Every structure is written in C-alpha cells, then in structure tokens.
Structure 1
Amino acid sequence: MAKHVFVETNWVVDYCAPAHFKVPEAVELLDKAQNGEFTLHLPSICITEARNVISRRFDPVKQITSFRKYLKWAKAKGAVATEDEEAVRRVLDIYQKTAEAEFVNLETGLKKLFQTPQLQVFALNEAMLAQAVLLAGEQLDLHAFDISVLAAVLVRSGELRMQDRNAELFFCELDSDLQPWAKRGSYRPQLRSLYDAARVWVYGDYEIPRSPDHPIS
C-alpha cells in the first residue's frame, strides 16, 4: 500500500534553514521518504513563500547587528568586562562568516528540492485553481495563499487515489490556519469535512505513524 505525505512552507523553512536553525524532525522526514517509507509531495508555491520567510527570519546581518549594538551598550555601562566583550566579538565574527556563507547557498538548497528523490514538487494545475475558486466562496476564514495550498492538497490527493484507491494520505500541517482543529482542541467542522472527504489524515508535526489508526483528523 503506497503512502504519501504532503508538506508545506513550514517544512521547507525547517529543512532549508541555516544549519543551526534546521529542525531535525524535518530532515528526518525526508530521510524516511528516501528510505522508501513514503513519498513526499510539496506544492511549488510553498518554495516561493519559504524563500521569503527564511530571508526575513534568518538574515544573519540583522541578527548580528542587533547583538553587536547590545554588546557595545553593555560595555559602556560596565555590564560586560573588556576581555569578555572581545571574546564575544570573536565568536560573532566566526558566526557571521559561517551564517553569511550558508545564507548565500540558500537559493541553491531551494532549487535542489526540485530534483530531490522521493520529493515530488508539483505546480498548481487547472483543477487546483478551480478548486481554490470554490474554496474562496466558503466561509473558511483563510488567506488566499492558504486556500491555494489547501486546494493543491485536496486535488492532488484525489489524483493519487485515482492511481491507487488504497493509498494512505497524510498532511504534515504545522500552520494552524490549515489545521482542522482549534487551539483549544475543538474541531473546525468545515475543514475537517474537506479532509475527511479527501481521506487525508492531518498531523500537527512531522511524526508520521505506520498506519492511520490514531489520526488527529
């Protein structure tokens, strides 16, 4: 029985972030796929969004500039000894060189996703765009981008079931907007019914079980 796992922007960010920001579970998810446990599926629009998120969130220049300002202020106030300040600056210099080098390679890492074994990056087709239009008319309280991702997952799920009616479908959804449950544990009936109709099991992390005996949705 084939198993398919959908991922979205959060996975791309967690996987492609600079080394010290990478989320081990995101890396392990791809490792499991490449070991033959399942196939990953990623809407291509998520790569575009992830590029912007990573650029904003992990920009080494912004991070280090802020810390250097604090260090200068702390030294002037006598809160940091001179020898400690010098040691910290040496560490910051090393960090900046390493982080900037990784940041430059960000685009290369994102492009590699298109050729990564067991990861199928797919563009939105006409059926997905049509589904997005229909979903926009529902009271789902979602942003346009989230509607596009949801439409992509639902339609792609149908395509996979056409190929294999017994396929198991999962969605690693860390974005609360697309999770079929609210923060307090109650279900969001409209989203839940959409996932149920598509027979997609939704999880709020990267831990995919061997069988959907205990799904979150």
Structure 2
Amino acid sequence: MKKSNIRILLMVMLYCIGLREAVTGVLQLLGLAESLNASYSVTGSFYNPGPYACCLALVFPVALRDANLSDNKLQKLTGWTMALFCAILIPVTMSRTAIAACGIGGIIAMSDRLNLRRLSKGRLLALGIMCVIIAGGIYIVKKNSADGRLLMWKVAVQAAMEVPLTGVGWSDVAGTYGEAQEQYFASGKGSEQEIMVADAPEYVFNEYLQIAIAYGPLAAAGVIVMIA
C-alpha cells in the first residue's frame, strides 16, 4: 500500500510539473506570454529550449502509457492531454535529445502493447529503417548545429586527454578548449565544414567532457560510474 501511495504521489507531482510547463509553452507559442530568452519563442520556465524540451520528454512516456493502458478515465484523459502537448511543443524546440528520448521512452512505455518480442523480422527491419530515417531527419534539420557539437566533442576529447589528472579547474575549461581547437586546426585535420561551424564556446555542451577537462578524466569516469 505504501509503495502504491508513493507511486501515485510521484505521478501527481510529475504531471503537475509537466502540465505547468506545457501550458506555459503553449502560451508562449501563441504569443500570450514571453519566453525567458529573446532568441527563442518557446522555453517554458527555462532559459533554453533544450532543457525545457527534455523536461517534457521525462513526462511523455508516462503520459503515453496512461493514455493507452490506464483504466482510469481521468488518468487516461490527463495522459492524452499531456502527450498531445509534448507532441506539439517538443518539435517546436527542435531539441534532438528530447526527440530521441521521446522515441525511446515511448517504445519502452508501449512495449506491452507493441509486444516487441513477437514482432516478425520484417517488422523489426521496418522499425529499424524508420529509426534511421528519423535520426537522419533530426540531423538534417539542424545540420550546422550538429556538426558544431561533434567538432566540440572531438576537440574536447583531445583536450581532456592532455590535461593533468586533477584537471585545469572549471574556470579554465574555455581557455583549455580554445588552445586544443587551435592545435586541431593548425595540424590541418579540420575539414571545411568544421572550419565553418567552429566557434569559441565557453562551454563544450557535454557535461562529462566538461568535467573531464575541469577535474580530470578520472573524475568524469567516477561520475559516469556513480550515475550507472
């Protein structure tokens, strides 16, 4: 009984957060509320649309499961409402991570109904092809952004491998990354596309690499082990 009550409490909290963010996003999308970042139309209560979309993506699998499998009418209606909000708002943010999370989470949430273990080889192949097409579409929609991220991660790995075991400190990550990027292009390894998308970011947009440069590769490995 206690476990059931805790689950209900967590579900209510999750839906309250999700619905609040979804309503805020819809108001921003309709121009009835201002986003917290002038560069983006929809950010919810966040400054950046990426974390906002990922917040909604946390709720989407739960909502999708309730919408399709719940016997409670109120829970079913709430699930459909939340899933619809997510389906509208997440593509607007163009967050690749959130879209991928919704896809994977949605498949897991619906695994009982989809009965993936009994799918024929043909259907599994079709599902695989569809996933590749979606992944390619996500890449093409924001190609320059994706190429920029890949360049940053490539250079950041190089920088992380060269820093001391204790790292360089959080405040020196940007400088260390800048020097590593300079060395990368000076070596002639950079392609024309990489030259076009190169920037001088203050953040490498990957927490593990950021930690590896700031506090050393062992600290990043420790964080990964702790999360796992």
Q: Same fold (TM over 0.5)?
A: no
Of structures 1 and 2, the one with the larger relative CO (CA 8 A, separation 6+) is 1
More helix per residue:
2
Taking structure 1 as the reference length, the TM-score comes to 0.28
Bigger proportion of residues as strand: 1
